[in-house]
Amino acid sequence: MSFFARFAQNRGALVGLVILFAIILMAILAPFLYPDSPWRMVQRPFLSPMEVDGFWLGTDTMGRDVAAGLMHGAWVSLLIGLVSTMVALLIGVPLGAIAGYYGGLIDDALMRFTEFFQTIPNFALAIVLVAIMQPSVVSIVLAIAIVSWPPVARLVRAEFMSLRHREYVEAARLVGQTNRTIILRQILPNTLSPIIVLASLMVATAILLESALSFLGLGDPNVMSWGYMIGAARTVIRQAWWLSFFPGLAILLTVLALNLVGEGLDDALNPKLARERS
């Protein structure tokens, strides 16, 4: 069975994929549908959805278009989610690979270093990092990456530890391949499935983290994000529900979609599991 056929067997994963595409489409179309800055005040404040033509999600406390904010926010959320996950993988995968492959003292040292990050609550560390570095897209991405790499390192380490004693790895050592070649060519490709699955879930977590940071006012002041929208609307939640409802729904759908896709990938990349289901 082809990879996609296995993936498609999981209905939820297909639904997730469709939602995800819709959100990506929103992000791409944002500059064309709403060429103006989402920060521009365009109408009376507190217009409820559908009240005035052309503002079908209403306006916020300052008269900015909620729909425009949502579209532009999609781009920011996805960007931060993806880039921070990439950075986290770039830190976590090599660390885990080296710790798992070499073992011994190197492993001990790297794992103690990892634990150092794991002992501090994620969100608290992220807040401190953003506060120190000044809120900006770059600092937010870095902060999220720094708090989310330890699980990657642990996963990759565990995979490497179980794979490094496989006979094909020993065979590769015997023919005189260098450690670097063995790590990159022999072991890493065999650890990709769990990494991909974990990464898809990490994107979801990163989007939530960014929203939470923005909610607290630690977002990049120059970009409109879903978290910022909810944060700014929290004081008027009883007068204008739509200001926090729509961005909240967007976050919910995005995270849900990513989780569904992650689960589908897990099924598709894990043929043993797929066979048991059929």
Closest among 198, 178, 200, 181 to 189, alpha carbons compared = 181
Comparing CB distances to other proteins, the nearer of 118 and 193 is: 193
Residue 206 lies near other proteins (rule: CB under 8 A): no
Distance, CA of 149 to CA of 99 (rounded, Å): 14
Comparing CB distances to other proteins, the nearer of 157 and 164 is: 164
Q: Are 126 and 190 in contact (CB under 8 A)?
A: no
Name the minimum Å distance from CB 7 to other proteins: 19
Comparing CB distances to other proteins, the nearer of 1 and 41 is: 1
φ, ψ dihedrals at 41, nearest 5°: -85, 125
Binders in 169-198 for other proteins, by CB under 8 A: 169-178, 181, 185-186, 189-190
Q: How far is CA 273 from CA 6, 139, 156, 194, 238, in A?
A: 11, 39, 20, 13, 47
Q: Apex CA 44: angle with CA 38 and CA 50, to 5°? A: 80
Name the minimum Å distance from CB 32 to other proteins: 42
Comparing CB distances to other proteins, the nearer of 18 and 171 is: 171
Name the minimum Å distance from CB 190 to other proteins: 6
Name the minimum Å distance from CB 223 to other proteins: 40
Among 11, 44, 166, 234, binds other proteins (CB under 8 A): 166
Q: Is 43 helix (H, G, I), strand (E, B) or coil?
A: coil
Name the minimum Å distance from CB 175 to other proteins: 3
Q: Are 234 and 241 in contact (CB under 8 A)?
A: no
Residue 85 lies near other proteins (rule: CB under 8 A): no
Distance, CA of 267 to CA of 1 (rounded, Å): 13
151 Cβ contact list (under 8 Å, min separation 6): 92, 198, 202
Comparing CB distances to other proteins, the nearer of 132 and 174 is: 174
Q: Which parts of this chain interact with other proteins (CB under 8 A)?
A: 166-178, 181, 185-186, 189-190
